[in-house]
Structure 1
Amino acid sequence: MNSGDTAWVLMSAALVLLMTPGLAFFYGGMVRSRGVLNMLMMCLGSIGVVGVLWVLVGYSMAFGNDVGMGLLGNPAEFFGLGQLLGDDQLSGTIPTMAFVGFQAMFAILTVALIAGAIADRARFGPWLLFTVLWAVIVYFPVAHWVFAFDEDDGSVRGGWIANSLEAVDFAGGTAVHINAGAAALALALVLGRRTGWPKDPGKPHNLPFVVLGAGLLWFGWFGFNAGSALAADASAATVLVNTLVATSAAMLGWLVVERFRDGHATTLGAASGIVAGLVAITPACSSVTPLGAIAVGAITGAVCALAVSLKFRFRYDDSLDVVGVHLIGGLVGTLLVGLFASPDAPEGVVGLFYGGGVDQLGRQAVGAIAVLAYSFVVSLVLALVVKALVGFRATVDDEAVGMDETEHAEAAYHFGDDPVGRRAAVAEGDVDRELEASPR
């Protein structure tokens, strides 16, 4: 055991956990004032659900010995994690329990990411039921595909994307972002559009919250990416620098698109560009040089700035642009590994622009498409099951009153805001006047 490596991974795990409250602020600032608490609760709820599931079956399904064809780890192998408590239980140079905790934070964040697509209209109880099903049936198996590597001595067999396909995904472009983005698209289709959308897209009620959330995400993402080196070494340092510069370039790329398209560079655009850059560099951070990271970030920032408008063209209501940022950003970042991967980077993979041909690009595409297809189809089925069993979407009246009051009996702000009065206005049929008068 190396104490420096262990300290870095433990610290990184804490940084990654911070990303989920950061995401809650990022999403919470973008919704109307009457739905901010519900958005915070949907993110925080994932911590409770996935934290427990990870101990019971999650770690075993993701990192247990493969039970066939690289698709799933043995669900019963590490039930309760009691077998991993000894000082002799190591994963590389760190205690296995440090690795368990670090990966738990990835699972929590991935589930929380989905919530943004169904903001302002999803009931909280059915959301928690969906998170249980989705974590067990989608995330844990996909994490096994991508993150579980074979042991050199053959004692442990891992997932097919990591070992057979050999696609590069250093910290979760496929398992986290494409996975969550595909699920978000499925849920947006099943729950349908918010009342009044797209005529009333719902403006962010608190842009300072959005910027705070983006800052917390960026801060935590250094643990997310550099912590995935599982060592305090040169690889982690390179990943950290790449994460910084790619995100910086993505923010600028997004703002340039906004300036030329809309005439203004916005605060919301800057925060969104930050997240897009973080998403894109996640799979590529160990395989590109800092110059390559700048290219990855700039391209993805511009592409995602354009992609968020696709929901208006195809008429799906992805409330907070989970599809446009996480699905598209994850796809772009994963594919660009096949172009910008440099033999000088820690991963040692050679992309097309460095004379490696299209082989790695093909591997990246297969891995990305496989995760997208599996997550979308299964998420669609799970959402339909939840909808049929307990209902998923709030009623029109509850949506008009706001999810904070109807789901949690709370209000985030009390500056003359009267939730009871809103309820009365809806009951009297004066929904339009109530919506116009309510704070945003």
Structure 2
Amino acid sequence: MKLLAIASAALLAATVIPAQSAEISDGKVKIGILNDQSGVYADFGGKWSYEAAKMAAEDFGGKVLDAPIEIITADHQNKPDIASNIARQWYDTEQVDSIMELTTSSVALAVQGLSKEKKKVTMATGPATTELTGKQCSPYGFHWAYDTHALAVGTGGALVEQGGDSWYFLTADYAFGYSLEEQTAKFVTSKGGKVLGQVRHPLATTDYSSFLLQAQSSGAKVIGLANAGLDTSNAIKQAAEFGIVAGGQRLAALLFTLAEVHGLGLEAAQGLTLTEGFYWDRDDQSREFGRKFFERTGRMPNMVHTGTYSAVTQYLKAIQAAGTDETEAVAKKLHEMPVEDVFARGGKVQANGRMVYDMYLMEVKKPDESKEPWDYYKVLATIPGDQAYLSAQESGCPLVSQ
């Protein structure tokens, strides 16, 4: 009888353990942080987003549903073909469950398309194009940190209201730049402003002189920099050499974050108006997170880094709530669950995958206004999420019933 009881217990264990492990495929949850780590956006996201993702996994306890959490990373070099090859290898041979960050819009669109085919969740924190939740939306794709519409509403709208009613755009020549220019131009004209022209430059240009001279000669009150990272920083530096701001024109950095302000320095960046979705010195909770991130990295986080922390955390919460890492179940939970963390207060995910939360209009302080390192911003206004982002119905996403 004792032998029979032991045999029965062993049989029961054999049937229970596989059922538990079947909740998590491959016995672990593996998340890939895919972004630019060597080019113009290396500070914008880069290895700092990887550190934020690892922080999120550690703060979650290192496990979800008793399965270990693994974070890996790779540099896509801002090339959609390289990014797609890495993503395919991650999915096909390395058992990656989800890919996140995805700085560079062309890369994000390519990887989200592949992930849709493979039925894998993507959570984009680095790219800006609204196409991710518009015409090229995916049932498994989520856009987390910001987008071109939110930037246009923030920076574009504020400057028109302050008298900057004529614009000339200096635009990065790829999907992100076009989208940022288009969204901002629409908002400028809707406020009664005029767009006098635009010029497009290749990604990672080092000489902006001819582009800036065209913008300067246009006579526009505002030169909109529809680019990001080192492209924006270099354009601002060269604009100072041409005396553009001294001559009465204003520069609008349409996508500029704390990381780029730090790299440029307050002397050059002072007075810039920009829009971010996070600032470390906003309140006690953000200060606590910022200092913890600083202890780990030697720098304060921007909205991409903190957005990546939030995306990883929410993905893990969704797995926990679903009781599995199966894609359909996790995506369903991601759409249903509110987002409440250091990054987003009262955030919500729309049917098209767009996470809606408040954005902040910032002005870069003058050097004598800064009280400590990384004290760079004055918060001019809070832009409610429902104003900052397109509704799911307005987005053009074919998954949304009109």
Instruction: Verify same fold: TM over 0.5.
Output: no
Larger Rg: 2
Q: Which has the higher contact order (CA 8 A, sep 6+)?
A: 1
Could you tell me the TM-score, scaled by structure 1's length? 0.27
Q: Counting strand residues as a fraction of each chain, which structure ranks higher?
A: 2
Could you tell me the TM-score, scaled by structure 2's length? 0.29
Q: Counting helix residues as a fraction of each chain, which structure ranks higher?
A: 1
